[in-house]
Structure 1
């Protein structure tokens, strides 16, 4: 989880220096795909999955989510952007109940309602919310839908195929727009930051895939909320950003209710 936040921190540095978020998003998919393919152990049967429209839908949702969060990070403090992004679990909960017929409980619904209040404190929709925060909320919505799409098709495919399929399709689909926004030249610093952005995300997700082979998802899931902590630390250390009191209160609410909700679901 910390590697993934670190990759977004590198992307924010690139974006603030003038590199297009769409180019950064494409490099994340393309470079990660190139590096991870040798570790995936793909077979010819795996490749048949690329014909599945749900595999394409899932990849499209994560492409949109990453493009939106990188666009948000161009102008927003990293902790605030992640706070808005955490509308995703709420979207996933609602869509899972509607589309996958998963069980709704009053206590979890209440916890997610409180979590939504925390998101509102971070986004501040009634106080001139910026365009960047709108993109962060959109990223969370796309990611919530992506989680539901993953739950829908996960029983049919190996975790490694699900990871490499989204990287491969992202690299191919985003190539035209990503390359059209490529800078005229890249210095050593930009190349290093692009590598951190792509490889941090890639190896963070690879670790999660490996962990999922031996560890129940109910144990892994709460780890996502540690991203709020690492995002706050990275924002302070790298950019000198400290959330205002409303945002800090919202982040705390999201973290506490998220852990409580997942602990309840696990039990």
Structure 2
């Protein structure tokens, strides 16, 4: 596989297009920020995306106290599918034509697992802890890039990866008997699956149209969740229906903001701002759930974030594009 082939633009890789009202909002935003440098515009978008993603996980944690994660996922996917349906339908039958059906299925499976494990951790762990552990996807991404994409990694990137792994171990913090919180392991599993999704999407965008990737993800994840959601279904209250609707809308809006961020700015200049999610998660966790992150979690997150920023900036100097930069970010959140 040619590792030097240029990946598509983030907005294309994400495979999502805003509906007409979204385009009007984008034009209005462009008018307001047209005088600003592109990286500043990208920074504004990614800060907005981080805030919206934090709102999303807060809503999921809140509604997850009474409803199963399967139910939350299937309703979320249905709402997002309705929002992007015009794009999918306008692309038929092209939107169903894939040159890599095996990879499409692989991505659907890992995307489903990433959301299932990740959302379970969000519901069961303090919000900041689950968010911090999710940052370990950078570590897994490096490993998968070496294994599946054949990327050549030097001593500096290996060093950053090892440091990041130590940060993961610090956050897991086994107890006196060497046992690890199963929900922390769920968060790690979700991060690993998210890293795999980003690798697979990077490969898929070289052969399949963005709308095709979107269509298979939209239908695939929802279909997988239908049976377990039906088995665990509890009739939501009117308030819970409202919260579920917000989860779907905010999820879509967060992905749109994330796409616009990497469309406007350079990944190496704005990617580190995504870590503001930890700040938001800490604030929302304290205000809404009266939960504070452990000291080990904060230290471990700082280690992972530092290693990640070092890796991104070093690879930028070498003129390489990391898979983590833009591809697939919207598929596992």
Superposed pair shares fold, TM > 0.5: yes
Q: CA RMSD in A?
A: 2.2
Find out whether 1:204 has 2:254 as its counterpart.
yes
CA offsets 1:226-267 (integer angstroms, 9 cap, x no match): 322322222122212211222221122222222222122222
CA distance in 2, matches of 1:216, 1:248: 27
1:216 CA drift (Å): 4.8
Find out whether 1:86 has 2:140 as its counterpart.
no
CA distance in 2, matches of 1:160, 1:168: 12
Find out whether 1:113 has 2:199 as its counterpart.
no
1:50 CA drift (Å): 8.6
CA distance in 1, matches of 2:214, 2:104: 11
- Which residue does the alignment assign to 1:253? 303
- Which residue does the alignment assign to 1:162? 213
- Which residue does the alignment assign to 1:30? 78
- Which residue does the alignment assign to 1:182? 233
CA distance in 1, matches of 2:314, 2:276: 18
Change (3 A) 1:253 1:51: closer
CA offsets 1:38-67 (integer angstroms, 9 cap, x no match): 245524222112971211211111111101
The secondary structure found in structure 2 opposite 1:129 is coil
Q: Check conservation: 2:172, 2:184, Cα contact below 8 A.
A: yes
CA distance in 2, matches of 1:50, 1:190: 40
CA distance in 2, matches of 1:7, 1:29: 13
1:85 CA drift (Å): 2.1
CA distance in 2, matches of 1:159, 1:217: 20
Q: Which runs of 5+ in 2 are unaligned?
A: 1-49, 318-333
Change (3 A) 1:50 1:131: farther
1:149 CA drift (Å): 0.8
Find out whether 1:148 has 2:196 as its counterpart.
no
CA offsets 1:102-126 (integer angstroms, 9 cap, x no match): 1212112211211222222221135
Change (3 A) 1:51 1:193: same
Instruction: Report the structure, 1 or 2, having the larger helix content.
Output: 1
Answer with 1 or 2: which has the greater Rg. 2
Find out whether 1:101 has 2:131 as its counterpart.
no
State the aligned residue count: 265
CA distance in 1, matches of 2:270, 2:278: 16
Change (3 A) 1:157 1:63: same
With structure 1 as the length reference, what TM-score do the two structures score? Answer: 0.90
Change (3 A) 1:223 1:26: farther
- Which residue does the alignment assign to 2:17? none
1:220 CA drift (Å): 5.5
Q: Which runs of 5+ in 1 are unaligned?
A: none
1:224 CA drift (Å): 3.6
Find out whether 1:54 has 2:92 as its counterpart.
no
Find out whether 1:11 has 2:60 as its counterpart.
yes
Q: Check conservation: 1:80, 1:247, Cα contact below 8 A.
A: yes
CA distance in 2, matches of 1:21, 1:119: 25
CA distance in 2, matches of 1:157, 1:224: 28
1:190 CA drift (Å): 0.6
